[in-house]
């Protein structure tokens, strides 16, 4: 059985990454909430005239990837669909700033005991199905014995 995902809060998120600069985005997590950042867009300023590629790199959990390469007069923005739940950094290799936008959500943190319990439930279903009928079968056997007159 899949657990439901309840969104507690939804808010706008943005970051400006200056030229040749790394911006670090720490994530907040408490016992009650987990933060997810959804990055949905990266853009150059529409008035940017400095030629050359502007590549934005994302580094998270020791891995570095290219999010987009933008060029004034050619490609001013790029749509993204990224969900991040741990600290990350952004680096702009281009000569002018990049602007990222999206939103963040706060979700209730899952209780470890509840997660373990739901995993146990799923394992029980996989291994033998529903065991709630065992008691009913025993009662049926007892009734059969009573009808025969033997115990």
Domain harbouring 35, CATH code: 2.60.120.340
Average pLDDT, the chain: 79
What mean pLDDT comes out for the span 82-96?
95
Q: What is the pLDDT of residues 93-114, one digit of tens each?
A: 999 999 999 998 888 877 655 4
Range of the domain at 53: 9-108
Q: How many domains does the chain have?
A: 1
What distance in Å separates the CA atoms of residue 2 and residue 36, rounded to the nearest whole number?
19
Do 77 and 41 form a contact (C-beta atoms < 8 A)?
A: yes
Do the domain assignments include residue 37?
A: yes
- The Cα-based distances of 20 to 31, 56, 125 in angstroms read 36, 10, 54
Chain-centre distance for alpha carbon 121:
24
Do the domain assignments include residue 52?
A: yes
The pTM of the full predicted model, rounded to 2 decimals, is: 0.65
- pLDDT for 103 equals 95
What distance in Å separates the CA atoms of residue 84 and residue 38, rounded to the nearest whole number?
6
Rounded (5°) CA angle 56-62-67: 20
């Amino acid at each position: 059985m899949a657990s439901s995902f309840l969104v507690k809060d939804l808010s706008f998120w943005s970051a400006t990454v200056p030229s040749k600069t790394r911006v670090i985005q720490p994530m907040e997590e408490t016992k009650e909430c987990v933060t997810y950042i959804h990055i949905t867009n990266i853009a150059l300023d529409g008035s940017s005239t400095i030629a050359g590629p502007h590549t934005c790199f994302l580094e998270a959990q020791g891995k570095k990837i290219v999010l987009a390469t933008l060029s004034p007069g050619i490609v001013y923005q790029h749509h993204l669909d990224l969900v991040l739940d741990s600290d990350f950094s952004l680096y702009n290799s281009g000569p002018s700033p990049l602007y990222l936008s999206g939103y963040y959500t706060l979700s209730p943190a899952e209780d470890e005991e509840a997660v373990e319990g739901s995993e146990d439930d799923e394992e029980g279903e996989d291994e033998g199905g529903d065991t709630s009928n065992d008691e009913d079968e025993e009662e049926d056997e007892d009734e059969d014995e009573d009808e025969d007159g033997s115990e």
